[in-house]
Amino acid sequence: MRALPLLIAALLTAIVAPALADGSRLDAILERHALRVGTTGDYRPFTALDKGTGEYSGFDIDMARALAKALGVSIEFKPTTWSGLAKGLAADDFDIAMGGVSVTLDRQKVGFFSNPYLRDGKAPIARCADQQKYETLAEIDRPGVKVIVNPGGTNERFDRARLREADIVVYPDNLTIFDQLAAGRADLMITDASETRFQAKLHPGVLCAVHPDKPFDFAEKAYWMPPDPALKAFVDQWLHLMQEDGELNALFSRWFQ
């Protein structure tokens, strides 16, 4: 009877020893003394890159700095794109993706998500004079309606899946895409409800969020990292403490209200 426990112990040693030898992503971050954060820099209020100064700002930029502080390491922001996000994560270009990243099953196949920090969903934003024209997908999905979208992310995926008759206009610069909408070069954009609220505040009286409290679908924002249990456990506990001590709410108030 003693042979079975010995066999199990030997198998566990064979499995665990290589993992311990390789170390976790969390170990690598601590040994490197730096957290590498992949971010697109084009999604206000979550992440924005000032091309003149090279400085990042935004809600998730502040959160990234708070995470690095909790880890006791420095921070390095690694530029990426929405279409290249999964490839960068798999290629070890960065340790964690932060910047308004939506939870999707396709992304879950590549890495782990932290506990979500924001409930969201897709909603329209249009010029205020036209906002009542585009309240439903049926009103939007008509010939001649121009729906502008940034390439490579969940916005484009939503439009391609739901719209058959409307004209989908792909615009490459997500930092200036709402200026295009305000100038009348498109009729509306469908994006995360959190972003529609923020952009309506940046363009008062010009752009209006359309039913952001009742988005077309359900989504959540979270932080995306390689499939490393130790790193995920740390990030989840850090998020929990940020929520409980009020730091998360303070940042929400700064960027979203």
Q: What are the pLDDT digits (tens) for 139-167? A: 999 999 999 999 988 999 999 999 999 99
Q: Are residues 179 and 56 in the same domain?
A: no
Which string of b and e fits 63-88 if b means at least 16 CB within 10 Å? bbbbbbebbebebebebbbbeebbeb
Q: Are residues 228 and 197 in the same domain?
A: no
pLDDT at 18 over 90: no
Number of domains making up the chain: 2
CA-nearest of 222, 219, 169 to 193 is 219
Q: What are the pLDDT digits (tens) for 198-244? A: 999 999 999 999 999 999 999 999 999 999 999 999 999 999 999 99
Q: What angle do CA 228, 231, 237 make, to 5 degrees?
A: 135
In a domain, 131, yes or no: yes
Pair 91, 226: CB distance under 8 Å: no
Q: In which band, very low, low, confident or very high, does the pLDDT at 22 lie, cut at 50, 70 and 90?
A: low
In a domain, 2, yes or no: no
- Name the residue range of residue 195's domain: 122-209
Q: Are residues 11 and 110 in the same domain?
A: yes
In a domain, 28, yes or no: yes
Q: Give the per-residue pLDDT at 13.
A: 38
Q: What are the pLDDT digits (tens) for 161-207? A: 999 999 999 999 988 999 999 999 999 999 999 999 999 999 999 99
Q: What are the pLDDT digits (tens) for 83-107? A: 899 999 999 999 999 999 999 999 9
Q: Are residues 19 and 106 in the same domain?
A: yes
Q: Give the per-residue pLDDT at 5.
A: 42
For residue 184, give Cα distances in angstroms to 37, 53, 140, 155: 35, 30, 16, 20
**What is the C-alpha to C-alpha distance for residues 55 and 143, in angstroms, rounded to an integer?**
41
* Burial class of residue 169, CB neighbours in 10 A (0-12, 13-18, 19+): middle
**What is the C-alpha to C-alpha distance for residues 158 and 102, in angstroms, rounded to an integer?**
12
Q: What is the dihedral of CA 38, 41, 43, 44, to 10 degrees?
A: 120
230 vs 6, higher pLDDT: 230
Q: Give the per-residue pLDDT at 242.
A: 97
Q: Are residues 231 and 174 in the same domain?
A: no
What would the two tokens of residue 165 be?
């008759």
pLDDT average, residue stretch 2-18 = 40
pLDDT > 70: percent of the chain: 91
pLDDT average, residue stretch 242-253 = 95
CATH number at residue 188: 3.40.190.10
pTM reported for the whole predicted model: 0.79
Range scoring the smallest mean pLDDT among 21-25, 36-40, 250-254: 21-25
